[in-house]
Amino acid sequence: MSWLELGKDLYNCIKCLRRNKYFGINPAFSDIPCTLKIPRSTKFMHKGIGVIIAKATKLGNNIQIYQHVTIGGKSQGETKKPGGPVIGNGVIIYSYACVLGGITIGDNCIIGAYSLVLDDIPPNSKVYGIPASVKGSV
């Protein structure tokens, strides 16, 4: 490894630590890639403990993510829509929810605790269950 590569790695590490400090994320108990673009309005409840977010994920503004949430992509063959999820603005994702695949979560949705979201969710919806389905509107 050259000194230039080492310097870039160190710079990225410091940048990631600063981001985690800004959001109050405890990096020892979460897996959030440094390359993921997180809007400043995003709130990680309970220091983001147990939160896993795939690098292919796209996050909107004013999202609240509670502890032990998994937001990830799935590979071709495991789901109808491979890739990372797109999370809209104003979404609240409660504890232990899993959002998987190349799906779209509409603006102002509420995803209940322990839900497994595998399909697109329209805007202004409340969803919960395994698998999650729309149970009402916000």
pLDDT of residue 16: 78
Q: Where are the domains of the chain?
A: 3-137
Question: What are the tens digits of pLDDT across the range 8-42?
Answer: 777 777 777 777 777 878 777 888 888 888 999 99
What distance in Å separates the CA atoms of residue 123 and residue 48, rounded to the nearest whole number? 25
Q: Is pLDDT above 80 for 74?
A: no
Q: Is the pLDDT higher at 5 or at 37? A: 37
Please tell me the class of the 3-137 domain. Answer: mainly beta
Question: What are the tens digits of pLDDT across the range 85-121?
Answer: 999 999 999 999 999 999 999 999 999 999 999 999 9
Question: What are the tens digits of pLDDT across the range 121-138?
Answer: 999 999 999 999 999 998
Q: Is the pLDDT higher at 80 or at 86? A: 86
Burial 38-62, CB ≥16 within 10 A → b, else e = beeebebbebbbbbebbebbebbee
What distance in Å separates the CA atoms of residue 132 and residue 138, rounded to the nearest whole number? 16
pLDDT of residue 76: 57
What is the pTM (predicted TM-score) of this model?
Answer: 0.86
| Whole-number CA gyration radius for the chain | 16
pLDDT of residue 138: 87
pLDDT of residue 75: 62
Q: Which two tokens stand for residue 47?
A: 């220091």
Question: What are the tens digits of pLDDT across the range 40-63?
Answer: 999 999 888 999 999 889 999 999
